[in-house]
Structures are given as C-alpha cells and as structure tokens.
Amino acid sequence: MTLTEDRSAPAGFNTTGAISEARRAMITSQLRTSGVNEPWVLEAMGGIAREDYVPAAMRDAAYIDRAIPLGDGRFLAAPIVHGRMLAEAAPNATDKVLLVGDSIGYLAALLRPLAGSVDVVAPGDAAAEGEGGYSLIVIDGAIEVLPEALCARLVEGGRLVTGQVSRGVTRLAVGTKAAGVVSLLPLAEMGIPVLPELAAPKRWSF
C-alpha cells in the first residue's frame, strides 16, 4: 500500500464534505502526530467510514479524539487506540486472527482486509474454550484478566494485542506466546474503553 504525494491523506481518499475533512484531520492531527505513520495503517483507517460505526446522533463526532458511547455500556475507542493496535498487531495475509470485540464493529472492518482470516468472539465469551490455531489475537478494549482459555487458542509464537488495566490506568499492551505462556508488556498509557466482562473478580473486604 502506498500514499499519494499529498502525505496528509491516504491514496484514493475522498475529501468531499465535512465528514471527509474530519477523516483527513484524524490522519494528520491524531494519528501522525502520535507516531502512527505506517502507510498501511493510514490507508486502512482513511478508507473506512468510521461514521458508519457510531449511532446516527454521533456521526458528526465520529472522528473526535476520544471514545464514543455506542449504548449498552459499549464504546468505540478513539482513533489513536485503533491506530496503535493495528500498528502493533501488524496483521498480514498469512495471519489467522481472533478479534475479541464486535463482529460488525469498526476494528473488525479494519482487520478483515489486512489478515488472511478474521474470526470474532464477543467479550463475554472470551473465557470459553474454542477453536485454536490463531497466530494473532486482538482484544478491542482494556482488560484486567487475560483468560487462560483465550491464550490457549493462540499458537506458539503467536502475538496478542490488547488494552490492559492496572490500578485504574489503561495502557496498550502486547505479548507473544512462549513456552505456552503469554506475558503482557505495557507500552503506552492511553484511554482505552474497559471491557467489564474481563475485569478481575471482586474481592470482599472487611
């Protein structure tokens, strides 16, 4: 994938209308200024209409630099979160990807053209046993607990990209499966919507 000579927008980028201008601004003012400069990431995010993945009342705010409420306690993460996740995941045509998130959501739409295959599991089902053989797992949200059953679905040497909650702070984190274990390495603090289904069990205190 390549960019046009105008490095402010991906090739084929339609700059007609206010929403398209907002998408251009997302590329130039949010992603590039935060260190997301991989041409294929910019191409992917410049080519997907983010406004199609938010409630109608929020379409004009689809490209703001913070999470957007989707209803039922769900959020669409800020563009920089998905940009960094894509850059760290680096999906390719040989990858069998498992996304923990929404099968018809924005991140699923970004991943599908980049990977060999993409399966999706809802956050509430992430701790259940299932088919394995995945070379990449991406969790669309921040977690406190990484289920063993989810790690078991990852092949040895496979990668995992997620948000991680620690003492109330959310960070982007990555891991690689080695000797059957996935250890997460926090990379950068950023506002990532928390997935309540993957929160740590509540502890009683007296």
Does residue 155 lie in a domain region?
A: yes
Strand partners of residue 90: none
Does residue 109 lie in a domain region?
A: yes
- Residue whose token pair is 């045509």: 93
Return the structure tokens found at 91: 């999906």
Longest Cα–Cα distance of the chain, Å, equals 64
Where does the pLDDT of residue 203 fall: very low under 50, low under 70, confident under 90, or very high at 90 and above? low
pLDDT at 31 over 60: yes
pLDDT at 12 over 80: no
- d(CA 100, CA 70) in angstroms, rounded, equals 17
- Residue whose token pair is 């069990």: 201
Does residue 112 lie in a domain region?
A: yes
pLDDT at 100 over 80: yes
* pTM: predicted TM-score of the whole model, two decimal places: 0.88
Q: What local confidence, expressed as pLDDT, does residue 19 receive?
A: 77
Instruction: List all residues 6 or more positions away from 82 whose beta carbon is below 8 Å from its beta carbon.
Output: 45, 106, 107, 110
DSSP string of 19-30, one letter each residue? HHHHHHHIIIII
The residue range of the domain holding 95 is 18-198
Q: Name which residue leads in pLDDT, 101 or 11.
A: 101
Mean pLDDT of 201-205: 64
CATH number of the structural domain spanning residue 79: 3.40.50.150
Q: How many domains, in total, are found in the chain?
A: 1
| Strand 68-71 relative to strand 74-76, pairing | antiparallel
Q: What local confidence, expressed as pLDDT, does residue 173 receive?
A: 98
Mean pLDDT of 38-52: 96
Does residue 184 lie in a domain region?
A: yes
pLDDT digits (tens, 9 = 90+) for 110-168: 999 999 999 999 999 999 999 999 999 999 999 999 999 999 999 999 999 999 999 99
pLDDT at 8 over 60: no
- d(CA 101, CA 161) in angstroms, rounded, equals 13
**Percent of the chain residues past pLDDT 70, beyond the cut:** 90
